[in-house]
Structure formats: C-alpha cells, structure tokens
Structure 1
Amino acid sequence: MTMRQVADGLWFCLDEFSSRENNRIANYLGSVSGAGLDRQLDQDEFHFRQLMEDGTAVKGRLEAACGTPVWGGEGQVTGPAVPAYLQTLTERADLLVRSSIDTLHAGFSSIYVDLYEEGGSFVPHTDRPIYGPYVLGMSFGVGSCEIVFSSADSEYRLTLPPRSVYCFGPPLRNEPWVHEVVGVTGRRFGVTFRTEAP
C-alpha cells in the first residue's frame, strides 16, 4: 500500500496491516520484557521501562527503545540492538516512505515502542534535533488514539486505529509545531521509527 497526503507534511494509510498481522505483532510486543514489569532487566536488552516526569511515574504509558540514536536522558546514545521482528517492520516502514514520500529516504535506524493503556497519553512535544526529517508511526493492538499536531494558529487531528500508519515531516516535524497523543481507548502499541539527523 501507499500513504496518502492528508496535510502539508502529513501522510496516512488506514489499513496497512491485516487483522491477523495486527494480532501477531501485538502479541509479540506484549511479550517483550517489562510489559508486565515482572523482573529485573538487563540494560542492553530491548525492554519496556516506566517513564518518570518530575519524579512521578507517567500513568498509562511504558516505553522501549532500540537502534540509534535514542535519548538516554542526558543525550544521544545507542540503544539495544533492533530485534529481528522489529527489523522486518523497519523494512516495511522504509518501503512506505520511499514509495509514498521520498525516494531518497536514508532508512530508519531508531525505533521506539510505546505501550499505552486506556486513558494513556503523550505530552505535547517537538522531536529532538538528533533525529532526521521523517517520523513514521504504526498502531497495533485493540485501542485507537488521536495524534494532534498544533502550532499557535493551526491544528490537525488524526485518528489512529489499529493497523494504521502515519508519517510526518517538515513543516510539522519542526518548531513551532508540537504533537501529542490523546484519547487512547484500549491497550495500544505505537511503534515509531526515526532516522539520525544528517
């Protein structure tokens, strides 16, 4: 499939994945260490971790990161190796960008997986400058959400049901634009791909 442009710098595909693929991928992501915070974890292992904001645990959202670059709290670091299962999704993400947006796309190297429970959210932010021009997200599980892009005088809202894919680049990728995740309706895995800044 290809993505269609829905706004300046924003592309979307509703049913990139079959129901069977959605279930298989959600089951795999649900088995990743830390999804139940059930044991001590090796720092070099791809795993979910509890996020903290101002010393308080963020409710409704866990995060796992792999590849390079990832944010290490104080700066850019290399994360755990990309698991084979996620490498297959990375190749699919690269193909979508090259066929729909940018034939010269360098290829994604940084992957974040966010596990949202119902009511979870992600605060308004602009991605760090360590990342390249395109951000691609895939949605799996049973829950949907909205991603909201906003600036001082404009706003775009996009509903992300399971099996959907979105990608954004300039101008939405850069300040003064911010984006946030709101309205999570059930357990949702968001897989986000980024490149390293040139």
Structure 2
Amino acid sequence: MSRRLTRGDRLVLASHNAGKLAEFELLLAGSGVTLVSAGQLGLPEPDETADSFAGNAALKARAAAGAAGLPALADDSGFCVRALGGDPGLYSARWAGPGRDFPAAMQRVRDRLAAAGDPADRGAWFISVLCLAWPDGETRDFEGRIDGEFAWPPQGSHGHGYDPVFIPGGETRRFAEMEEAEKNAISHRARSFRLFAEQCLPAG
C-alpha cells in the first residue's frame, strides 16, 4: 500500500513561483492538506543539475523535505517544441533568465523557429513531473504530458510561463485564454497531479 499524506498534514511546495503556488492551492482544495511554499519558509533553491525532469524534481523535493522536516512536493516542468528538438524543455525557466522574463523567452522560441526557416510543424507539448519526498528520503514520481501546438503571437492574460503561446490539442484557445479551472482540468500538471492525488492524498 502506497504511503499517503493525512488530513491536517503540512506539505511544502518546493517552489518560489507564486503562480505555481496558486495553481497547487486550487488543486489541493478540499484535501485537508495545508500547502506552504519553500519561498514562504525562506528555503534556498537548489541548483537544477539533473539531466531529466524527474531528476530535477527529486533534487528540489528532497532539498525542501530535508530542510523543513516536512513532506515536500516538487514540480519540474517544461515547454517543448518539436521543430526545436524539444527545446526549451529542461531549460524552459532558464530561457526566461533570472528575472523570469517569459515574454522574452517566448520571443526566443519564435526567433529560433524563424532561424530554422519557420517550419510548418508547430507541434509542442508541456510535460510535468511531480516528486513527493518525505524527510526520511523516500520519493515517488508522477508524470503528465499534454500535446498541442506553438501559436504566435502570445495571447491571453491568465496562467503563467509559456501559456500565452500554447494551444492544447482539440482546443482553439491558448492556455492563457482559459480560466484557471478550465486549464487545471486538462493541463500537464493536472495530469501528473491526478496520479499523485490518487496515490498519495488522504483517502475518502
């Protein structure tokens, strides 16, 4: 039987990103688990030196769980464009620079596509790997992905990151044009979170 959180537990979100915190608070609503971010606890952000989403998620979750003495949940996610060989991928946040300038990052994707001859293939996807780490070092991973296409120019004012340039399959709107609840029902993070919730949140 998988190890579960219980009602009344505190869970650290291993992130300093306010947008992610708001998204996870909505996802956890009604679970009986209280979410606090690494930023609110003043925890340092570890260097993301792994060569995979799962590896980086584990680095962040283990660091937060060890520092706080609480279970910690980390997300490592990225925006991948097929014509760019999957870039920015693992480096999605780094393309935005230390100031998290995502308009500049989205422009960089557009410029790279133009430099590649502006290929007709606009296939793109978001991937999310969640890692739950316990203070004793035990971890569990959960992966979600959603496919769609890169769309230019950016549109919409909701969400965060690359949401203004991604149209999920079967939709005509970008993630940033959807209300948060709509996006949360279908997103890559919603899919990885669903697996996490089924296996690790309080039952019933």
Q: Which TM-score bucket, shorter chain as reference?
A: under 0.3
| Bigger Rg, which one | 2
Q: Give the alignment's TM-score, normalised by structure 2.
A: 0.26
Answer 1 or 2: which has greater strand percent.
1
Q: Give the alignment's TM-score, normalised by structure 1.
A: 0.27
